[in-house]
Chain A
Amino acid sequence: MDDLTLWGLRIAGGGQIALALLHRVAMRELAWREDFARIRPLNARLFKGLFGYVTCMNFLFGLLTLLGPGLLLDHSTLALLVAAFLAAFWTARVMLQLFYYRWREAPGFVGRWYCRAMLMSGFVGIALAYWLALCCNLGAFA
């Protein structure tokens, strides 16, 4: 089971890096530049700052997961907590995608069904990999 989880984590790490890089495309497709021009500059800067922050976090956790998946499976308390945090983080992302965002209204190809299905599969896959890591650390498959 640990081998499967190891590979799952590597794929999830690669997926997170790809998602972080694809944020640039989403910005362009959703025409954020035009929308930012309409809101107060401070709010625009705050939004851009938070967006950059989350993107960097995705990239760096992706890098950690891609390069050191074994560190997330070494049954230490830190590995357990990091896996729990990332499982909760990506589960929340799946919930947002399902119940909060209205992607059907999105312009361009990001609103198309195949793009939404790909994004959703990516989020679910990443969340599952971390849940698997969390269960391994809790000794579920021992």
Chain B
Amino acid sequence: MTQSRNVKAAIAIAALSLPLMYGLLHVVDGVFARMAVFYAVATPACLLAVKLDWKKLLRDLPRMAGLGLALALVLYCFAWVGFGLIRRVFPEFAAQSHEFYGWMRDDGSLVMWLLILFVIVGEEIVWRVAVTLPLVEKWKHWGVLAGAAGFAAMHLPWGPPLLILAAFVFGGCWSFIIWRTQSLWCSLASHLLWDAMVMWIAPLA
């Protein structure tokens, strides 16, 4: 009963996120502010709509966060190699990364970094916890693909194709991580460190 309700809620969240993001495109200026508004609406809606075992998802913080940080380093290496390959084979496609890095150069304030932090936490709660977990419970690895596709689709209204590809690939990785570990700390730590490395510590472009 709960599983069926959660799956319906997950599909509804994924389906509604795209029109909501298209709507926000015309109302809120700035990518990070727009995403923050999106997650300010979507996160409480998800917490109300999907019933999950939070005790299990939030267990063993130090060990799961440590595993997540280690996985973030592996994913960063994967991103470095993948982006290197794209840059060599499809240089024009890789050049889209300048648009993404441009957004951060244009702002760079503390408020922007706080917004990014809020967005990452929102992404994990909405896409990994509320959407992916119910879907993988019913459809196993197809649920991972569906969660990643929904996460990538949410970037469609405003993101360049390179960012949508990255959202699909790494969204899929974080979906897989939360599926296998059943820990929000693990996917959240992995996402936070990976984003910090790609955006700030060791940018890819």
Contacts and interface: CB of A to CB of B under 8 A. Distances in A.
Interface of A: 77, 80-81, 84, 134-135, 138-139
Chain A residues touching B, majority SS: helix
Interface of B: 80-81, 84-85, 88-89
15 contacts: A77-B88, A77-B89, A80-B85, A80-B88, A80-B89, A81-B89, A84-B81, A84-B85, A135-B81, A138-B80, A138-B81, A138-B84, A138-B85, A138-B88, A139-B84
A119 B89 CA distance: 34
Contacts, number: 17
Contacts of A138: 80-81, 84-85, 88
Contacts of B88: 77, 80, 138
Chain B residues touching A, majority SS: helix
Nearest to B87: A138
Contacts of A135: 81
Contacts of B85: 80-81, 84, 138
Nearest to A135: B81
Given A80-B88, A139-B84, 14 more contacts: A77-B88, A77-B89, A80-B89, A81-B85, A81-B89, A84-B81, A84-B85, A134-B81, A135-B81, A138-B80, A138-B81, A138-B84, A138-B85, A138-B88
Contacts of B84: 138-139
Contacts of B81: 84, 134-135, 138
Contacts of A84: 81, 85
A81 B88 CA distance: 10
Nearest to A76: B88
* A81, A84, A139 pick with most chain B CB within 10 angstroms: A84
A61 to B, nearest CB: 19
B23 to A, nearest CB: 40
Contacts of B80: 138
* 10 A-B pairs with the lowest CB-CB distances in the bound complex, closest first: A138-B84, A77-B88, A80-B88, A84-B85, A77-B89, A134-B81, A80-B85, A138-B81, A81-B89, A84-B81
A96 to B, nearest CB: 16
